[in-house]
Amino acid sequence: MLSRNNQIFEFNADKMPVGVAFKEEEPFTNHSIRVQDNDIFYLFSDGYKNQFGGPEQQNFSRKGFTTCLAR
């Protein structure tokens, strides 16, 4: 994810685990991003947004994660 000027931009990952031999022939996608002053990049695994917590023990969710980063 990229935070720029109070906006969040997502760059979708490839749906394959790293290091699995049977997918060797499918290359990973390269993303080219022009970096600007004050850009903030967030790199994380898909498990981060699946964390449970808070008083209600609720799933953090993708929307909650993105909202937290946009602050």
Tokens 């290359």 — which residue?
27
Q: Which candidate, 44, 17, 38, places its Cα nearest to that of 28?
A: 17
d(Cα 26, Cα 17) in Å, to the nearest integer? 12
22-45: pLDDT as tens digits: 555 677 788 899 999 999 998 887
d(Cα 7, Cα 70) in Å, to the nearest integer? 7
* Amino acid letter, 54: G
Considering only residues 18 and 40, tell me which one the structure prediction assigns the higher pLDDT: 40
Q: Which candidate, 60, 58, 49, places its Cα nearest to that of 13?
A: 49
pTM of the shown model: 0.65
